[in-house]
Amino acid sequence: MASERSARQRRANGEESRRRILDATVEIAGERGYEGTSIKLVSARAGLPASSIYWHFKDKDELIAAVIERSFGAWLEAMTLPEVEPAAVEALEPVELARRRARTLAAQMAKALLDSPDFLRLGLMLALERRPEEPSARTMFLQVRHVAHERVVHAIGELAPDLAPTTARRLATYALAAADGLFIAHEIGGDDVDLLDLFDMHAHALSDTVARLREAQ
């Protein structure tokens, strides 16, 4: 029993130190970007020796990749369409119901970005870079980006099941690209830019685009 308790305590300590390391990395990367982040700075901010960081992560690149993955996991939970209430189905036309669900989804995504912006902030920096040796953090971002794209494709398919699959994928690419731009606008403008309001406008625009594309088919 004593050995089991000791093993559980070690696991708990390991999870706590990993959380502290990732939290410290988020703070430093937010202040200094990918290039300005170092194991030395993370060690000082987390209050843990560098050896503890290297026990969890091979190098800085793997550490940044873990930050992106953790932050994306929190955002991905928000990328799910809200359930449809029976009363809403009876009271609303299908187009209006789809519009309201799209607006709710957009609000969820905007709130999640405000709470966990790290994967997109760091990922966009890395995605625009070209290096002879591909950082694993950039690879991680591209992987989670693909997951996000597929989630948006699925949501569009649920909201407008009669859209052609190729059209739904084009629309998903457009939706994510516009969301990137809104996020960058908020990063530049800070509190002067209302990200929730911009995402609501984005949902309206996408709903209108979907209606136009359905008519054109």
Segment 106-121, tens digit of pLDDT? 999 999 888 888 778 8
Interacting residues of 82 by C-beta distance below 8 A, sequence separation 6+ = 101, 104, 105, 108
Pick the residue with more confidence: 210 or 133? 210
Pick the residue with more confidence: 31 or 131? 31
Query: Tell me, what's the pLDDT at 12?
Result: 47
| Average pLDDT over every residue of 142-165 | 90
Segment 68-122, tens digit of pLDDT? 888 888 778 777 777 766 555 555 577 777 888 889 889 999 998 888 887 788 8
CA nearest neighbour of 110 among 182, 29, 191, 210? 182
Residue 7 confidence (pLDDT) above 50: no
Reported pTM: 0.80
Segment 156-212, tens digit of pLDDT? 988 888 889 999 999 999 999 999 999 999 999 999 999 999 999 999 999 988 888
